[in-house]
Amino acid sequence: MMAIRELRYQGDEILRKKSKDVEEINEKIQILIDDMIETMHKYNGVGLAAVQVGILKKIIVIDLYDDNGPIVLINPVIVKTKGEQEVEEGCLSFPNEFGKVKRPAEVVAEYTDRDGKRMRVKAKELLAQAICHEVDHLNGELFVDKVIPGTLEYVEPDQKVEK
Ligand code: NI
């Protein structure tokens, strides 16, 4: 049974802490992953890191709402970056705030999937952006640290399309 977890928001000091490696992908981790996906979907997020639900473990989930479905990255490491893209970005821990940031145009990341298999993904555009944003969370870094000065905006909630 999946459950919505409580999100941690801007100002919560846990968001500044570093997450630890997942040593064993056990039942508890599988439940956490399912809950993270459910929580990300509930709030229409493209990505979510475990720290955002109060768990300091290196787990991120990403869903671009395409044919691939949700992607689960455990202990992810960005091993290569290429180029640069300037993108609009937000974060579920900063509701209704958006700003422009510079991200690599392409990244190669290694991670363990939820079946314990070590994987490698080459990502560009939105997926590259999402991986960088979520890996930053695992290091206690937030998009507002990188926002291009003067581009941070508050968007009224009723201007957003809710699912
Ligand atoms: Ni975020």
**Ligand 1 centroid – CA 81 distance (Å):** 20
In this prediction, the residues of the chain whose per-residue pLDDT falls under 50 are 163
Determine the Cα–Cα distance for residues 109 and 102; give it in Å rounded to an integer: 18
Q: Write down the pLDDT at residue 156.
A: 83
User: Would residue 134 show up in a list of annotated catalytic residues for this protein?
Assistant: yes
Domain 13-154 has CATH 3.90.45.10: yes
Length of the chain measured in residues? 163
**Ligand 1 centroid – CA 119 distance (Å):** 23
Find the Cα–Cα–Cα–Cα dihedral 4, 68, 58, 14, rounded to 10°.
-40
In 3D, which of 57, 45, 53 has the Cα closest to residue 133? 45
**In the chain, domain spans:** 13-154
**Ligand 1 centroid – CA 52 distance (Å):** 8
Q: Write down the pLDDT at residue 161.
A: 55
Catalytic residue among 84, 134, 141, 153: 134
Distance from chain centroid for Cα 45: 9
- Residue 132: left if φ>0, alpha if ψ -120 to 50, beta else—which one? alpha
93, burial (CB in 10 Å: exposed 0-12, middle 13-18, buried 19+):
buried
